[in-house]
Amino acid sequence: MAQRLHLSHHVFIRQPFQDYQPTDEGSWYSKDSITWRKDFHRVGVYWRDPFHLEYFVDGEKVRTTSGKEMIDPKGFTKGSGLNKPMHIIINAEDQDWRSDQGITPTDKELADTSNSIMWVDWIRVYKLTDVK
């Protein structure tokens, strides 16, 4: 995972819990010679409208997801797409699909803070406004 950065969004319903996020090959970004944990990087998302997202890494547009079939193919938003305020989650988590494959870090690996801490220098959120 040190060579790939996951660029994605989630839509879900709470009861019963169901979740969708794109898992196509384009949702995993990599660039030759970059190991993500060794340097700081700038990651951004331009949320243009309810059915269009553009992802940027270090100032370069690297992914676009658009259309109902990419944003919400299971209809969890009842056809309205990403149309309400969202929360930003910045994390480095161990997910079920990894632990189910036996690739969960050990307690010893987690105790090694040189490899188990994610640093976030700053977060900025902008709201696009009309210029008149």
Average pLDDT over residues 10-31: 90
Query: Which of 57-71, 77-91, 93-107, 112-126: highest mean pLDDT?
Result: 57-71
CA angle 31, 34, 38 (to 5 degrees): 150
Average pLDDT across the chain, whole number: 86
| Sign of CA pseudo-dihedral 127, 64, 74, 12 | negative
CA distance 56 to 15: 33
Is it the case that residue 58 has pLDDT exceeding 70? yes
CA angle 83, 89, 90 (to 5 degrees): 140
Residue-wise pLDDT tens digits, 67-93: 999 999 999 999 999 998 888 878 777
